Amino acid sequence: MNLDQRQNAMRPSSFQFLRNTHVTMAKKNFRGRAGKRGNRDENKDGWTEITRENAKWESYYRSQNIIPDEAEFQDFKKHCQETLPLTFRITGSKDHAEEIKQIFKERHLNHLQGLTFLGEPVKQPKPIAFYPNELAWQIDVSKSVMRKDENFAKTQRFLVIETEAGNISRQEAVSMIPPLLLDVKPEHKVLDMCAAPGSKTAQLIESLHSEPNPTGFVVANDSDYKRAHMLVHQIKRLNSPNMIVVNHDAQFFPKVKLHDEFVKFDRILCDVPCSGDGTIRKNAQIWNKWSLGDGLGLNPLQFKILQRGIDLLEDGGRLVYSTCSMNPMENESVIAHALRKNKNMKIVKVQLPGLVSSPGLTTWTVVGKDGETKAKGTEGFADELYPPTEEENKEFGLENCIRVYPHQQNTGGFFITLLEKAPKEKTEEPAKKKFKPTTPAPEKKEKLASATKDNVEPFNFLPSTHPDLEKCWNFYGFDKSDTQITEACFVRNATGDPSRIIYLSTPIVRDFLSANEEKLKIVHSGIRFFVTQRTDLDCPWRIQAEALDIVRHILTDSNPRVLNIGLPLFETFLKEAFPKYHELEERYPDFIAKAKALPHGCGFIKIPREGHEDLMYPIWIGTSCINLMLAKKETFEALYRVFNIETNGSDAYKQTPNGPGKKIQGTNEEVAEATSEETPAVVASEDATPVPEEAAAAAPAPTEA
Ligand SMILES: C[S@@+](CC[C@H](N)C(=O)[O-])C[C@H]1O[C@@H](n2cnc3c(N)ncnc32)[C@H](O)[C@@H]1O
C-alpha cells in the first residue's frame, strides 16, 4: 500500500466518521462563527482542531451542480480535504533558469526515485504539465517525508537557498495560470490591480523581461498598505527597473497619464479578493469560516474592480479575471454582469496545453444567507447576480470560462477568464500614438516626482550630465547615448542631490512617474544602481549586484574594469573575506597585476563556463586586498550552484584572517572592503518599507567602523 492508498484507506465513508478523522490543527487565530456550528474545538495549547467538513459548503456546491457526476464529486471533495502538494516555479532568464532546472534534475530528482518512507513507496516529483519547459514542479509528499527523509530534506534546503536568491518561487500551481494566459510582451503596459503578495506580479515581470531592455512596464497595485510592502519584498528579488508598486482601491484606480495622453493598459490582471474556498486545502480554516453569504457579499466589489479594469484596458487589449473561489457568485455571475454592461468585451476561448479543466457554468441559482433559493426579482437580490438567458449566453459563451478543480491535477481550485476588448474601429481617426519618443531627462536638476504622500520620499530624476553621474559614466565606460540607462537615474530625497544611493528606472517609467506624481500613491519603483560610502576615490560610486543584468552589455572583455577569472579563484572569493594581494599573487599573478594597475573602486569579475552563461559579480578593488561584493544568501547560492557546496545559515559566513565567523578586525579600509556589499541595516529596512534616503544614510554604515 503506498502513502496515497493508506490515506485513502483512512478516508471516511460516512459523514459521522468524517467528523472524527478529517481533523487538522491550526493555530488559534480565527474568531468566526464556526464555533456555533460545532465543528471547531480548542485544546489546551491554544491550537484549534479543524474538521475538514462543512455541510453547507457541500450542499451548496451540490445544488450548483458544479460537478454533476456523483463519483467525480466524491473525488473532488476527497481532494479538498487533503493537504496541498508543494509546488514551485523556476524563475530568471532562460539560460539561468535552465541551469537551475538541470541542477534540480541531476542533484535532486535523480535521488528521489524509487524511495520508500516507513516501508511505503514515495511519489516522485513531477513537472507541472501546463507550465512551459518543465520550469514548474510538483512535489507530492507530506511534510513528514520532506523533513525526515534525508533526500527530500536536501531538496528542501535547495528550495530554500534558491528561493532566497530569487531563482525559485514557491507558488500554487493554479496561481501560475492567469499570467500564462495574459501573454505579456516586453513592450506592454501592464496593470495588476490586486497584486499582493505578488506571485503573479512576479510572473508578469518575468514575461516583460523575456527580452533585454523591455520598453513596457508593470504597475502593481494593492489597496492594503502593508500587503503592498509584502509585494515589494517579493518582487524586489527580480531586480526590474520596469515596475511600479502603488497603493489604491482598485475600484477607483486613478486615470493615469503618459506623454500627455491617458494611459490604457495592454494587459490587466484582476485577481480579485474572494472567499478563497479554492485554497481550502492550504487554508483549512476555510472549512470553518465558509458561509453562504461570502460570495454574495463579495460580488459587487469584484464586479467594480473588473469594471474599472475594463475601463482602463486598451482597445484590443486583454484582461484576465481570476479568483481562487469555486463559487459562481464570485465568478460567472461577475463575468456575465460585465459582459451585459460592456458590449465591447468578449471571452476568449483558450486552453493551456496540459491543463485539465472544466467549462464555466452557464447557469446557477442565487442562494440567500438563509440557504433558500432566491428567485429573480426578490428584494435585496440584484438582477445582475442571475445567470444569462439562453439568448444572452449565445453571445457571452460563459462555458469558455475556465474552472480548475482540486481533483483534476491535484491542485487548489481556481477560476480564470480571459477577456478581450474589441479593437479600435477603423473609422475612428486619428489613430492614437502608442508612445511618443521618450523625452530626455531634464537639463537641470529638476524635481519631477514629489509624491510625498504617506511619507513616501519624492522621486527626483537626475540629468545625465549630473557631475556624479558623469563620473560613473566615465569610470565604468557607459555610452552616454545609452538613454535607457543614462536618462533614467533618480534619487529619493527632498534635496534631489545624490548622497548615498542612485536608483535606476527606465525612461518610460520615469515619464510615467513624473506624469502621475499627484495622482498616484507610489510605494516603490526602481532598483539600486550606484551606492557610495567613500569619497576619496576617482569614482566613489559602486554598481550594485542587483543592477548587473541591466548593465551587462557594457561589461565586455574590453572594459578595463572587467577581470576574467577561473573557477578556483572564484571559489576563493566566495570563501574568503578580503584576501590580500600578496596571498593571491603567487597563484594568480596576471590577475593581481591587472587589478593592481586599476584605479581603486568597484570592478567586476567574469567567470566563463562551458555550457552555461558566464557569471559576473561586482568586486571591490582596494589598496591591499580585493573583495567579492555579494550578499550572504547569494554567496551560499553561488557556492551551491557552481561548486555543489552546501552551506547553511549557521555556518561561518566567510573565512577571515581571524578565522571563520569571527568579528572582522583590520584597518578601516579592510573592514569597509570586507563588508562593503553587506549593509544589512539599510537593505533590510528598505525591504520592509521604502526608507527615505536620509534614513538609510543615518543607519550605521559599515565604513564608519
Ligand atoms: C487574491 S489576493 C491577490 C493575490 C495576488 N494576485 C498574488 O498572486 O499574489 C487579493 C488582493 O486584493 C487586495 N484587495 C482587496 N480589496 C482590494 C481593492 N478594493 N483594491 C485593490 N486591492 C484589493 C487584497 O489586499 C489582496 O492582497
CB 89 less than 6 A from any atom of ligand 1: no
Residue 692 pLDDT class (50, 70, 90 cuts): very low
Residue type, 575: K
Q: Provide mean pLDDT across the span 662-680.
A: 34
Q: What are the E-state strand segments in 298-411?
A: 313-323, 345-347, 358-359, 402-404
Q: Which helix (H) or strand (E) holds 535?
A: none
Distances (CA, A) of 241 to 212, 484, 548: 12, 11, 12
* pLDDT tens digit sequence for 258-279: 999 999 999 999 999 999 999 9
* Distance from Cα 271 to the centre of ligand 1, integer Å: 7
Find cell 474545538 and name the residue.
41
**What pLDDT shows up at residue 12?**
30
Q: Which residue has the cell 508598486?
A: 245
- Following DSSP, what letter does each residue of 650-695 receive, concatenated? TS-SSEETTEETPPP-S-HHHHHHHHTT--HHHHHHHHHS---HHH
Which pLDDT belongs to residue 19? Answer: 30
So what's the pLDDT on residue 39?
Answer: 37
* Atom 1, ligand 1: residue with shortest CA distance: 273
Which residue minimizes the CA distance to atom 15 of ligand 1? 273
Percentage of the chain exceeding pLDDT 70: 81
Question: Closest Cα to atom 25, ligand 1: which residue?
Answer: 224
What is the distance between the alpha carbons of residues 160 and 141, in angstroms, rounded to a whole number? 17
Band of residue 632 on the pLDDT scale cut at 50, 70, 90: confident
Q: Report d(CA 398, CA 340) in Å as an integer.
A: 12
- H or E stretch covering 270: strand 265-271
| Nearest-atom index, ligand 1, CA of 222 | 22
Tens of pLDDT, residues 604-631: 999 999 888 899 999 999 999 999 999 8
pLDDT given for residue 684 in this prediction:
24
pLDDT number for residue 48? 67
For the full predicted model, state whether its pTM sits above 0.90: no
Which cell is 247 given?
Answer: 497603493
Query: For position 212, what pLDDT does the model report?
Result: 87
Confidence of residue 485 (pLDDT cuts 50, 70, 90): very high
What was the pLDDT predicted at 647? 78
Q: How large is the average pLDDT for residues 190-210?
A: 96
Q: What is the pLDDT of residues 297-337, one digit of tens each?
A: 999 999 999 999 999 999 999 999 999 999 999 999 999 99
Annotated binding-site residues for S-adenosyl-L-methionine read 194-200, 222, 249, 271
Total H helices, total E strands in the chain: 27, 32
**ipTM > 0.95 for the complex:** yes
pLDDT of the residue at 425? 80
Q: What is the mean pLDDT of the chain?
A: 84
Quote the pLDDT of residue 458: 87
CA distance 156 to 646: 12
Ranking 3-17, 35-49, 103-117, 395-409 by mean pLDDT, the lowest is 3-17
Could you identify the residue written with the cell 498616484?
520
pLDDT at 693: 32
Q: How many CA atoms are closer than 13 Å to the CA of 254, on its beta-carbon side? A: 16
The domain ranges of the chain are: 86-170, 175-421, 553-678
Rounded distance between C-alpha atoms, residue 537 and residue 557, angstroms: 24
pLDDT of residue 689: 27
* Per-residue pLDDT reduced to its tens digit, 135-172: 999 998 887 888 888 888 899 999 999 998 889 999 99
Q: Read off the pLDDT of each residue in 470-485 and give the average, rounded to a whole number.
A: 94
Question: Domain 175-421 falls in which CATH fold?
Answer: Rossmann fold (3.40.50)
**Cis preceding linkage at 178, omega within 30:** no
Active-site residues, by number, are 324
| 191, 194, 304, 521: residue to mutate for ligand 1 pocket, most atoms within 8 A of CB | 194
pLDDT of residue 44: 54
Residue 604 to residue 679: CA distance in whole angstroms? 19
Nearest 5°: the CA angle 96, 160, 211 is 25
Q: Is 300 in the pocket of ligand 1 (CB under 6 A)?
A: no
Judged against a pLDDT cut of 80, whether residue 389 lies above it is answered with yes
Q: How far is the CA of 597 from the centre of ligand 1 (A)?
A: 54
Please tell me the number of Cα atoms within 13 Å of 520 on its side-chain side.
26
Higher pLDDT pick, 27 / 489: 489
**Could you tell me which residue, 445 or 108, shows the higher pLDDT?**
108
Q: Which residue has the higher pLDDT, 215 or 148?
A: 215
Ligand 1 within 6 A of 3 CB? Answer: no
Provide the pLDDT confidence category of residue 50 given band limits of 50, 70 and 90.
confident
Say if ligand 1 is within 6 A of residue 171 CB: no
